[in-house]
């Protein structure tokens, strides 16, 4: 029997949740996703040292400020990833911008322009935005410009519906972080996989989208174990860490499809979710509100660490000598 990883590929698009170039070459995902935490990890790996030095050296020659250098580094890693996967590469907008629609739109356009200057068209890139109300509105603008978006840090059905109604190309509902919250809140060590709150959340979103005919792609993310991944076989896409990809690749047991689109769909259009209803849903759903805020904060902390690391390298890098006047 083929490995569970190969079986999973027949049910869902397998996406690598990493910027690790070696792991991507090994597991051959169709797409890959990154975020500030993964970019930080990638930048610290020996295999990526030459790439980072190249970006820093060019930035020193160009006199770029640190914010521009970080954008160029994220895109440079993304460009390398497009050479390893045939599909989409996700690059995330700074978490600190998550409540500023205009700033997110501006940053997304800048990232796409950087990709295009390196020969990678926008059809290969997904811009990742936090699924705040402002992030969803930014996605609405960008999608109209042909810039596809991945709305991340999705923890509730209301977030997911708002993203779909805005025309977002893809959403990333987080499985493991939901499970973490409920384990702590309920004093549980584990759940049977069919009772796992994170798994059930994604199943609910998937069924709702297919029932109502939303075209937005559902990509399960943030897995804590292989059983969670297997329980969502059949979801449009699943983004999985190298550790769990390796575990699935080594397991040759059976893996069965778990999610199927409903045979009957409703023709009733849903009322657009208002800003007030969206914001109240995040207050009323304590888990979703807390995990969204926490996720934004964590991504920003890793961005700040990357900022510190790259700024130190930039400072230590020799700048070109000034050319005497005359």
Which active-site residues does the annotation give? 128
Burial zone of 325 (CB within 10 Å; 0-12 exposed, 13-18 middle, 19+ buried): exposed
Given 3-state DSSP classes, what are the helix, strand and coil percentages for the chain, each rounded to the nearest 5? 55, 10, 30
Residue with tokens 């994170």: 198
Taking the alpha carbons of 6, 197, 182, 295 in that order, is the dihedral positive or negative? positive
Among candidate residues 140, 131, 135, the one with its CA nearest the CA of residue 160: 131
Q: How far apart are CA 123 and CA 82, in angstroms?
A: 11
**Cβ proximity of 63 and 37 under 8 Å:** no
Q: Rounded to the nearest 5°, which phi and psi values hold at 237?
A: -140, 155
Residue 174, Ramachandran bin (φ over 0: left; ψ between -120 and 50: alpha; else beta): beta
């Amino acid at each position: 029997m083929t490995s569970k990883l190969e079986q999973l590929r027949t049910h869902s698009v397998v996406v690598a949740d990493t910027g690790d170039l070696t792991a991507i070459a090994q597991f051959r995902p169709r797409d890959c996703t990154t975020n500030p935490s993964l970019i930080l990890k990638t930048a610290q790996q020996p295999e990526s040292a030459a790439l980072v030095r190249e970006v820093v050296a060019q930035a020193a020659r160009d006199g770029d400020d640190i914010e521009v250098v970080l954008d160029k580094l994220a895109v440079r890693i993304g460009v390398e990833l497009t050479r390893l996967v045939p599909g989409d590469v996700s690059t995330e907008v700074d978490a600190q911008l998550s409540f500023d629609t205009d700033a997110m739109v501006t940053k997304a356009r800048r990232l796409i322009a950087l990709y295009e200057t390196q020969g990678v068209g926008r059809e290969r890139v997904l811009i990742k935005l936090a699924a705040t109300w402002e992030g969803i509105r930014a996605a609405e603008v960008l999608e109209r410009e042909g810039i596809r978006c991945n709305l991340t840090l999705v923890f509730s059905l209301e977030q997911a519906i708002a993203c779909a109604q805005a025309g977002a190309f893809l959403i990333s509902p987080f499985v493991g972080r939901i499970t973490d919250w409920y384990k702590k809140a309920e004093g549980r060590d584990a759940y049977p996989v069919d009772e796992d709150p994170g798994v059930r959340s994604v199943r609910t979103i998937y069924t709702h989208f297919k029932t109502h005919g939303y075209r937005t792609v559902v990509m399960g993310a943030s897995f804590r174990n292989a059983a969670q991944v297997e329980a969502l076989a059949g979801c449009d896409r699943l983004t999985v860490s190298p550790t769990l990809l390796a575990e699935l690749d080594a397991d040759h047991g059976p893996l069965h499809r778990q999610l199927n689109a409903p045979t009957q769909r409703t023709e009733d259009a849903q009322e657009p979710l208002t800003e007030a209803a969206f914001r109240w849903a995040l207050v009323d759903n304590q888990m979703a509100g807390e995990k969204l805020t926490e996720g934004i904060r964590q991504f920003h902390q890793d961005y700040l660490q990357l900022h510190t690391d790259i700024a130190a390298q930039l400072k230590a890098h020799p700048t070109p000598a000034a050319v005497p006047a005359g």
